[in-house]
Amino acid sequence: RLLSNKFELDKILNSAMETMPKDRNGKLSKEYLRVALDTVAPSAGLPPVGAIEEMDKVIGEVFKMVNADDAKVVKEDEFKKLLTEILGNIMLQLEGNPISVSSNSVVHEPLDSSSTLLQPSPSETAA
């Protein structure tokens, strides 16, 4: 779904770019594609790299397909294009061979920092 929504995709790619190290010419090493993929993975409904072995195999295959591990330095728009291509290929692989994961763990979402749930009550702070 993320790939079909250009606005959302651009927003997520731009956000990922902000955290990627660039050289003095503003270019990025393709070595950071895995880091960038990990940044956009939650938005694409993908698990983090390293979480699911079968998924890592798919990612490895896709990286080989798009020659993403050659450590070349590319401009930001080329980096985004590669990242989009990687996402697209991962989704195609998963459509053809879905990976199912089961877990018995409970996931707790982080609370907003403004939550009063864990704040000391006024009577505790007066002591």
* Segments making up each domain of the chain, as ranges: 2-100
Quick one: fold of 2-100? Recoverin; domain 1 (1.10.238)
Tell me if 91 sits within 8 A of 107, measured CB to CB. Answer: no
pLDDT digits (tens, 9 = 90+) for 63-100: 999 888 788 899 999 999 999 999 999 988 888 888 77
Which of 84-88, 107-111, 113-117 holds the top average pLDDT?
84-88
pTM for the complete prediction?
Answer: 0.72
What is the rounded average pLDDT of the residues 1-13?
A: 83
